[in-house]
């Protein structure tokens, strides 16, 4: 396990140092670092900010959000869209984001406060907020 | 496509054919600082930048952080746009230091609210100018505004941009009542769409000038107003932005912080975009007339060609600006 940790650190630093050789080839680099913690027993435990036990939005909600985002940003069918995709990385400007939020409000019959809409930066965040608001609405 | 352009002594006319074989490393042309009431706009058209060796030259100007951000973008077009935006900022700012600070050596930080600003180093015999800048992009044009001493916000949008939602529903949801009424009064849907885009850019430019982020100044908490000066000298509200001589902002929670602090300009850029500029205003003595913001605009392909376009068809003032026709 310690080897894994060392490899991930090395990878990160080699990314930075080789950047002088970086040429535009249209390649997108994705680097995900997972932090490893040593517990009291000496066994590493996996801790990732993506690890959720509960409260994740239903797949259908995520799918609907993806559809609205695809439509708003006119994404080509080949372009990758995952729950973690950041709107800004997909080329959304502030008007796109506001239009997406409005599309979501209409689709799900909810109302998103303007300061909450600031926190919607990915598909997953939008889906989670929608579920929260839909649930609140049904409880009201 | 060749056309007559005004150019400085150091820029060159290069045909598209020659560009592929030319090591385009002519130095950046330095530019005099904007005066107190002046905004400078530099813009680049991504579709006109195709030369891979030029793009790789630009890539070397970016910090490692900027490069990582760029490669996170989804697809070649967005990556190129991100690259050109950072190149535009770095090369533009360098010009205002008489090129003493190279584009590569600029450092940036975010202010307490997240707005990017220059982090100057320590220089022995030189005081850096109090430069403010703001960038705006669309897929077809990237613009950078520069001022001295004054906060500035710039927003550009494609004139032809289609709104996916119904314009009035959108406005009722996000704009002020006054702005909704302004749009509602326009019967022609195409003109309504254009006025919507102009309003959007003005509101965005204000929020960006404030530099506190969207959530600190939600669009519903302030309104843009237009005022025209009648032939008898009286200032009256007006319905069409194009007739207005003045654009003002009124923040609902702080009515005193009015138009007194901020001035706006609106123009058509490169025949394809609306551009709004919001700049901090100096304290003006009561009774002094409307001094419009002065504007200078350049179209650039850094290290290859700069073109001063003020006074040409590329710059059409709509409101609130006076152009400097000569450099």
B20-B22-B26-B29 Cα dihedral, nearest 10 degrees: -30
**Which residues from chain B sit within 8 angstroms of residue A115, using beta carbons?**
215, 218
Distance CA B51, CA B16 (A): 9
* Candidates B72, B173, B204; nearest CB to A102: B173
| B165: contact with A, CB 8 A cutoff | yes
Q: Reply yes or no on domain B34-323 having CATH 2.40.10.10.
A: no
The C-alpha angle with vertex B12 and arms to B10 and B17, in degrees rounded to 5, equals 160
Q: For residue A140, is pLDDT > 90?
A: no
Closest by CA to A110, choosing from A133, A77, A86, is A133
Which residue's entry shows tokens 């070649």?
B76
Local structure of A31: helix, strand or coil = coil
Angle between helices B189-210 and A94-108 (to 10 degrees): 110
| Domain count within chain A | 1
DSSP string computed for B194-211: HHHHHHHHHHHHHHHHHT
pLDDT band at A123 (very low <50, low <70, confident <90, very high): very high
- Please return the burial class of B309, using the count of CB atoms within 10 Å of its CB with bins 0-12, 13-18 and 19+: buried
**Smallest CA–CA distance from A89 into chain B, residue:** B73
**Smallest CA–CA distance from A80 into chain B, residue:** B74
| B160: contact with A, CB 8 A cutoff | no
Distance CA B233, CA B246 (A): 13
For B:50-69, CB contacts with A below 8 A are 52, 55-56, 59-60, 64, 67-68
Put simply, the answer to whether A90 touches B173 (Cβ < 8 Å) is no
CATH number for position A74: 1.10.1200.10
Q: What secondary structure letter does DSSP report for B270?
A: T
Determine the pLDDT at residue B35.
92
Put simply, the answer to whether A91 touches B218 (Cβ < 8 Å) is no
Task: Tell me if A107 is assigned to some domain.
Answer: yes
**For residue range A49-94, what is the model confidence (pLDDT) as tens digits?**
444 445 677 888 999 999 999 999 988 887 888 999 899 899 998 8
pLDDT in tens, chain B (327 residues): 333 344 443 334 444 444 444 445 688 999 999 998 899 999 999 999 999 999 999 999 999 999 999 999 988 999 999 999 999 999 999 999 999 999 999 999 998 888 899 999 988 888 999 999 999 999 999 999 999 999 999 999 999 999 999 999 999 989 999 999 999 999 999 999 999 999 999 999 999 999 877 666 788 889 998 888 777 878 777 767 666 678 888 888 766 655 568 999 999 999 999 999 999 987 655 445 557 899 999 999 999 999 999 999 999 999 999 888 877
Q: What is the pTM of this model?
A: 0.80
Determine the pLDDT at residue B136.
96
Cβ count near B272 (within 10 Å): 15
The C-alpha angle with vertex A94 and arms to A90 and A98, in degrees rounded to 5, equals 100
**Which residues from chain B sit within 8 angstroms of residue A85, using beta carbons?**
74
Local structure of B297: helix, strand or coil = strand
Residues 6 or more apart whose CB falls under 8 angstroms from that of B111 comprise B117, B211
Distance CA B264, CA B286 (A): 19
**Which residues from chain A sit within 8 angstroms of residue B65, using beta carbons?**
none
Helix (H) or strand (E) holding B147: strand B141-148
* Candidates A30, A79, A117; nearest CB to B75: A79
Chain A interface residues facing chain B, Cβ-Cβ under 8 Å?
15-16, 19-20, 22-24, 26-30, 71-72, 79-80, 85-86, 89-91, 93-95, 98-99, 102-103, 105-106, 114-115, 117-118
Distance CA B80, CA B78 (A): 5
Smallest CA–CA separation between A28 and chain B, in Å? 5
Put simply, the answer to whether B213 touches A118 (Cβ < 8 Å) is yes
Residue A120's Cα: distance from chain center in Å?
A: 9
B249-B254-B255-B258 Cα dihedral, nearest 10 degrees: -40
Determine the pLDDT at residue B285.
53
Helix (H) or strand (E) holding A107: helix A94-108
Sketch the domain layout of chain B as residue ranges. Answer: 34-323
Contact B70, B82 (CB under 8 A): yes
At B103, list the tokens. Answer: 């584009």
Residue A134 belongs to domain spanning: 59-139
Task: Tell me if A52 is assigned to some domain.
Answer: no
Determine the pLDDT at residue A11.
35
């Amino acid at each position: 396990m310690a080897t894994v940790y060392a490899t991930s650190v090395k990878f990160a630093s080699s990314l930075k140092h080789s950047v002088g050789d970086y040429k535009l080839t249209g390649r997108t680099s994705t680097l995900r670092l997972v932090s490893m913690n040593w517990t009291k027993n000496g066994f590493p435990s996996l801790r990732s900010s993506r690890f959720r036990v509960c409260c994740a939005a239903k797949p259908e909600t995520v799918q609907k959000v993806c559809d609205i985002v695809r439509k708003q940003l006119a994404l080509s069918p080949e372009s990758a869209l995952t729950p973690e995709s950041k709107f800004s990385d997909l080329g959304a400007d502030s008007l796109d984001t506001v239009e997406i939020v409005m599309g979501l409000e209409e689709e799900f019959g909810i109302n998103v406060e303007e300061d909450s809409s600031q926190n919607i930066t990915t598909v997953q965040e939008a889906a989670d907020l929608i579920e929260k608001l839909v649930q609140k609405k049904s409880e009201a | 496509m060749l056309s007559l352009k005004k150019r400085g002594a150091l820029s060159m006319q290069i045909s598209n054919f020659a560009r592929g074989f030319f090591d385009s490393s002519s130095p950046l042309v330095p530019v005099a600082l904007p005066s107190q009431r002046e905004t400078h706009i530099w813009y680049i058209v991504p579709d006109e930048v195709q030369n891979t060796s030029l793009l790789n030259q630009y890539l070397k100007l970016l910090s490692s952080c900027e490069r990582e951000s760029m490669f996170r973008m989804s697809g070649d077009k967005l990556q190129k746009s991100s690259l050109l935006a950072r190149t535009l900022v770095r090369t533009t700012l360098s010009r205002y230091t008489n090129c003493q600070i190279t584009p590569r050596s600029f450092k940036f930080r975010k202010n307490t609210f997240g707005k990017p600003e220059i982090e100057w180093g320590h220089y022995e015999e030189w005081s850096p100018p109090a430069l403010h800048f703001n960038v705006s992009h669309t897929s077809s044009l990237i613009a950078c505004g520069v001022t001295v001493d004054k906060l500035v916000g710039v927003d550009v949008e494609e004139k032809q941009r289609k709104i996916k939602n119904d314009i009035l529903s959108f406005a009722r949801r996000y704009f002020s009542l006054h702005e909704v009424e302004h749009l509602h009064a326009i019967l022609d849907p195409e003109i309504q769409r254009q006025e919507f885009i102009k309003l959007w850019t003005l509101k965005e430019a204000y929020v960006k000038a404030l530099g506190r982020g969207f959530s600190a100044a939600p669009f519903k908490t302030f309104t843009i107003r237009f005022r025209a000066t009648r032939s008898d000298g009286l200032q009256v509200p007006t319905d069409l932005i194009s007739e207005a001589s003045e654009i003002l902002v009124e923040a609902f929670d702080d009515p005193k912080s009015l138009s007194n602090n901020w001035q706006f300009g609106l123009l058509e850029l490169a025949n394809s975009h609306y551009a709004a500029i919001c700049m901090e205003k100096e304290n003006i003595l009561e009774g002094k007339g409307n001094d419009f913001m002065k504007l200078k605009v350049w179209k650039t392909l850094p290290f290859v060609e700069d073109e001063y376009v003020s006074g040409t068809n590329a710059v059409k003032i709509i409101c609130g600006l006076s152009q400097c026709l000569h450099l």
